[in-house]
Structure formats: C-alpha cells, structure tokens
Chain A
Amino acid sequence: MSVDSAAASAVAAPAGAGALGPRLRGSRPVLLPLAAAAAMLLGWQVADILLHVPSLVLPTPVEIGGELWRALPTLLAQALPTTRDTLMAFAAASVLGVGLAVVITYSPLLRDMLYPNLVFFQLVPKVALAPLFVIWLGIGSPSRVVFAGFVSFFPVVISAAVGLEGTDPAALRLCRSLTASEWRSFVLVRFPFALPAIFSGMKVAMTMAVIGVIIGEFISSQAGLGFYILNAGSRLDTPDVFAALVVLCALGVALYGAVALAERGVRRVYGRH
C-alpha cells in the first residue's frame, strides 16, 4: 500500500516560490526540469566524446537518437504486444481489485479474513512467481497478462479498500439520516469519496503492469520490448538497447499519463453531477 506514496506525493509536490517575475515563474516548473534534463544529456554527449567511451559501453545520446530513428518501425511493432498485454493486465487488475475492495468493504468478516493476507502479498516479491505462470500458462501472451495482472492487482485492491473504508463517516451518517439505501449511499457518497484512492492505486497498478509484462517478456517471450531489450543486450548492441528503452519509457509514461488523465476526467464528471 505504501508503494504509491512516492508517486502520489510527487504529483502534489509544491514548487518552491522563487524570486522570479510572475511571467517567468509560471513556466519555471516546466522549463527548469527540462533544461536540467537537456544539460545532463549534453554533459553525457560531451563526456562520452572527450573520454572516448566505446559505444558498446555507453553510446552517446546522438548515437541513440540515430539508432532510434533507424529502428523505430521495428520498435513500434515490438511495442504493440507489450502495450496490449499491459493494458489487458491493467484492466483486469483494476476491475477485480475494485470489485474485491467493494466486497470487503461491505463484509467485515471477509475484510478481517482477507485484508492482512492481501497486505502480505503486497509486501512479498511477487515477481519471483513469474516462472510459475510460464509453467501454468505457457510462454504465450496469456501467461504474461495473468502474471502482470497478478502483480498489479494488489495495489488496486489495497488502495481502493482503504479509500472506501475512509469515507467521511459524517457523510455516511447524513445518508443514513436521509434513509438512503446502501446502494444509493455507495453510488452517491462512498465511491466518489474513494475515487482519489482508487486512482492512486490504479496509477501504481499501471507501472506494475508494465514491469510485470517486461519481466514476463524477459523470461519467456519471443516478442515485445522486453524480449527486444534482452536480445539486443545479448548481441551487445548497446545503442539498440537504449533505443528500445527510450520507447519503453515513453510507453510507461504515456500509460501512466492516460490513467492520470482519466482521473481528472472522472473527477470533473463527478463534480458536475
């Protein structure tokens, strides 16, 4: 459950107010990190050239860019199965996770029975189970989807359960005083109250789903970005590894961004109702 702390707090992190003009201050939180990233890339490039680092060890950003451009069609084709598996795993984990969270919210017995076990699973290194999924489901895409779903299921269920449980008791009392049915107070109060927690669980789940699929591709696949990276690594084609990593990182950030965007949308809709 704590897996999210960093990601969640990161979004809310305030930027320190500086002594800049109002016009500059607005764009500073965006420009400054971008400039820092650009400076690091430049430093990398310059250091690489000056120190004559062989491209096998560390290719320059320009080299990586060239490789990326050259291999882009292949990389995008490889990204396709990775994306598909990740999305399927994420969707399954979200639906099942929220579903189970709702069930344990309404059944104290089930909650007391299951919750500590769910937390246990959250803490243990579930990635170690990856080879088992290969035994059970073969080396095809289903084994990766199920494994990634398994890994990303726990953050969702724990976060959603905490959120549903943490609904403002005063608001629930208000519902009760209005003779609202359980279902009515769930739809109107409990669920909207839990939405931020559910989404922060889903954001963690999305990053976990990508990780799950990549690990699955490391150990079993014949396609996908994970397979491509491992393959390029064993060929000692470091620029190719980096190019694939760039695509993978873009994919990870895009998928995370999609969840963050959906969060905004849903919250806005809930506000208008």
Chain B
Amino acid sequence: MAVLEEIGQTGEAASPARFARGVLLPLGFAVLVILTWQILCEWLRVPPILLPPPSAVWAVLRDNYGILLQQALPTATETIVSFAVASLLGVALAVALTFSAWIREAFYPNLVMFQLIPKIALAPLFIVWLGVGEKTATVVAVFIAFFPVVVSSATGLVSAKPEVLQLCRSLAASEWQVFHMVRFPYAMPFIFAGMKVGVTMAMIGVVVGEFITVQKGLGYIILFAAGAGETATVLAAIVLLCGIGLALYGAVELAERVVRHRYGGAMPVGGVI
C-alpha cells in the first residue's frame, strides 16, 4: 500500500506518448486492417460480390450518399424515438417498483426472465399486430430496449447505501425527499448503464425490424443489396449504421458525463462491467 502511495505522489502526466498509445495505436491498427483488406482484395482478385475492397465501399458512399442518407434518416429517427420511449418507460416502471417491496418482488424476477429470453424472436408478432411499416420496427425496438433499462434502473434504485437511508429516516425525510435526494442520484449510474445497453438494443431492434418488415431504412437497403449481390452497398449501409450507433451511444455517454458533473465527480460507479 505504502509503495503505491509513494508512486502516486509523482502524479500522472498526460504526455504525448500516452496519446499516441491510447488513440493513434488503435486507429493505426484499424487503418492497417483496412489497407491490408484493400491490398488483399486487389492481389487475390477477390470477386467484389464476396468482399469488395474498401475503395469500392467508399465509392458507393461517395456516389450514392443522397439515397443512403435518405434511407438513414428513418433508421435514425426510429432508433431515437424507440430509445427515448424505452428509457422513459423503463425508468418510470423502475421508479414504480421501488415504492412497494411487494410489487418489486412480484415483478422484478419476471422482468429479469424477459431479459434472458431472445425477445427479437417476437418481431414477427408485431407484424401481425401492427402491419408492415415503420411503426413496427419502432415498437420492436422499444420492446427489446426497454428491459435492460428497467432491470438496471430497478437495481440502482434499491442500491442506495443503508446508512444514508438511515440518516434520512433520522431526519424524518419524506418518501419523496428520500427518493429525489438520495435514491435517484445513487441510481443514476445504473440508469445510464441500462440506457447504454438500451441504445445499442434499440439499434438492433430497428435493424431487425427493417430486415423483416419495412420497405425502407438502412436495414432494408442491407437486405435488398445483399439479395442483389451488391456487397459494396451492404458495407456502405453498415458503415452508416455504425456511425449512427456510435453517435447515439456517444450522446448517452455525454449526457452521463454532464449529469455526473452536476452531481459531483464522486458518484458511485454503476453496474457496468
């Protein structure tokens, strides 16, 4: 311990070497992979239907960005809407669960059960219920993004330290005060952890929904282009999807930082592994 303390005193300097290792190295590796891919495709004359070179993907992105962006718009909208709805519903249900131990105990294990089953398989049912269209993809996405949010939030809302809750009781704090001054801040990291899973799940839900139902969107483009053997278009659509996915994840991450900042940096770490 003492040795560590002594080392700690020297402090961590943010040096250019660290930047190079932490950012440039992984980026460099990614670039290397893409270059190798390009060179191998040209050398081995891989048929473009099997694996087009990155340059072909880039060409598709450059030449057809209008159509691609037009298709990316519904996908992005559906994802954002479904994520927002799933987050609101999830947190709301989790809050409802915290106010009664009975209700929590009755429902929580069932929610966890839903967490474990492959909900994506229910997608065809939503077609039966809602028909073929954007709405279906959105609802499928809400349905699968909802569970991680509610399970994680419910865990977080009961994770406040018992000592703090005792302190509140000794101060005769009302249930509402305890909730918004103690329970909610303590649950914040868990809620965000659930939302981060939720946002990736919403994306998956929308894509799968578009695979099986919709007549537009990037998922549709991917499946259509794959059927037509236009692999470069598939990859171009995937690049856009990845962009949307990362941007949304980044937005959640950013929101978490802002909230963390407001509650002070020393917020407990949530259930993220």
Contacts and interface: CB of A to CB of B under 8 A. Distances in A.
Are any A and B Cβ atoms less than 8 Å apart in their complex? yes
Given A4-B273, A229-B121, A230-B212, A9 B115 contact: no
Taking chain A's interface residues, is the majority helix, strand, or loop, or is none over half, making it mixed? Answer: helix
Interface of A: 1-10, 13-16, 18, 28-29, 32-33, 35-37, 40, 56-58, 109, 112-117, 120, 123-125, 127-132, 134-136, 159, 162, 197, 200-201, 207, 210-211, 214-215, 218-219, 225-226, 229-230, 232-234, 236, 238, 241-242, 245, 248-249, 252-253, 256
B158 A252 contact: no
Interface in B226-246: 226-227, 229, 231, 234-235, 237-238, 241-242, 245-246
B interface, size bucket = 35 or more
B109 A33 contact: yes
Interface in B210-229: 211-212, 218-219, 222-223, 226-227, 229
Interface stretch (B23-31, B66-74, B167-175): B23-31
Taking chain B's interface residues, is the majority helix, strand, or loop, or is none over half, making it mixed? Answer: helix
Given A16-B158, A136-B51, A219-B223, 4 more contacts: A2-B193, A5-B270, A125-B245, A211-B118
A125 B110 contact: no
B41 interface: no
Contacts of A207: 116, 118
Interface in B37-96: 49-51
Interface string B115-155: 11110111111011100000000000000000110011011
Nearest to A4: B273
Contacts of A245: 121-122, 125
A16 B219 CA distance: 43
B218 A113 contact: no
Contacts of B223: 131, 219
13 contacts: A9-B271, A10-B108, A10-B151, A113-B26, A125-B241, A127-B208, A131-B223, A135-B226, A135-B229, A214-B121, A218-B212, A238-B128, A252-B116
A142 B19 CA distance: 41
Nearest to B241: A128
A253 B196 CA distance: 23
Contacts of B200: 3, 123, 125
